[in-house]
Amino acid sequence: MSSPGHSGAAILLVDDLPENLLALEAILSGLGHELVRAGSGPEALKELLRRDIALILLDVQMPGMDGFETAAQIKARERTQDVPIVFLTAIDGERHQAFRGYAAGAVDFLFKPFDPWVLRAKVEVFLELFRQRRELATRTDELAAARAALSRDDLPARAHAALQAARAACEAAEAGEDSKILAAALETLQEVEALTEALGVRRPG
């Protein structure tokens, strides 16, 4: 299921009971994020291969591969090892299960029946952290690209060529006695000279 107008941050809901998935969707549908269903551990692992997931809400008690086993496999994959997992369980009488959940890689543990508003608040916090991490990754990539461009071996040659072209434009404009073109060419020359100086590009002798 996908919420209309979702923001692009997908939440994976994992539970073997359809009624539980419906309840989670009812609680989270108003947040405006994409909600992805999985009815088992193996199905959840397949969904994680198909798309990027920002947060996983994972039921502990499932037949076959339970929540702990599913979490262990998620954390074992490089692609998904950093995806936060919130365990949902009805085992309220066995609090030691929470320790097992954190050991499996969970970032939080909620016992059923949980407060819908508490769940919504926690989900919003994790999705905001996801947004911040994604933005930081984008800025890091942009910075790396800028550094790569500045460190190119052919940058001095390109800067020198631009400087030569600007000078040639000035000479042509001066010869044509066109004051407007000459003024524009001189301005371009000054900008290129300032750029080469800022980049520390030495002019070939």
pLDDT band at 128 (very low <50, low <70, confident <90, very high): confident
> 3-state DSSP call for residue 44?
helix
- Got the DSSP string for 162-202? HHHHHHHHHHHHHHTT-HHHHHHHHHHHHHHHHHHHHTTPP
Higher pLDDT, 136 or 69: 69
Give the per-residue pLDDT at 205: 46
Tokens standing for residue 37: 């269903």
Higher pLDDT, 141 or 73: 73
Is 80 exceeded by the pLDDT of residue 191?
no
pTM of the model: 0.65
Is 60 exceeded by the pLDDT of residue 59?
yes
Is 90 exceeded by the pLDDT of residue 193?
no
Tokens 């407060």 sit at which residue? 115
Q: List beta partners, residue 37.
A: 13
Higher pLDDT, 156 or 112: 112
**What strand order describes the sheet that includes 85-89?**
34-38, 10-14, 55-59, 85-89, 108-111
Please compute the mean of the pLDDT values over residues 66-92 and round it to a whole number: 87
Tens digits of per-residue pLDDT, 8-57?
A: 679 999 999 999 999 999 999 888 889 999 999 999 999 999 988 999 99
Tens digits of per-residue pLDDT, 95-110?
A: 566 666 666 667 788 8
Tell me the helices (H) and strands (E) count for the chain, helix number first: 7, 5
Name the nearest CA neighbour of 58 among 96, 1, 27, 101: 101
Please compute the mean of the pLDDT values over residues 105-123 and round it to a whole number: 83
Is 50 exceeded by the pLDDT of residue 2?
no
Tens digits of per-residue pLDDT, 135-187?
A: 877 777 766 665 666 555 555 666 666 667 767 776 766 666 666 666 766 77
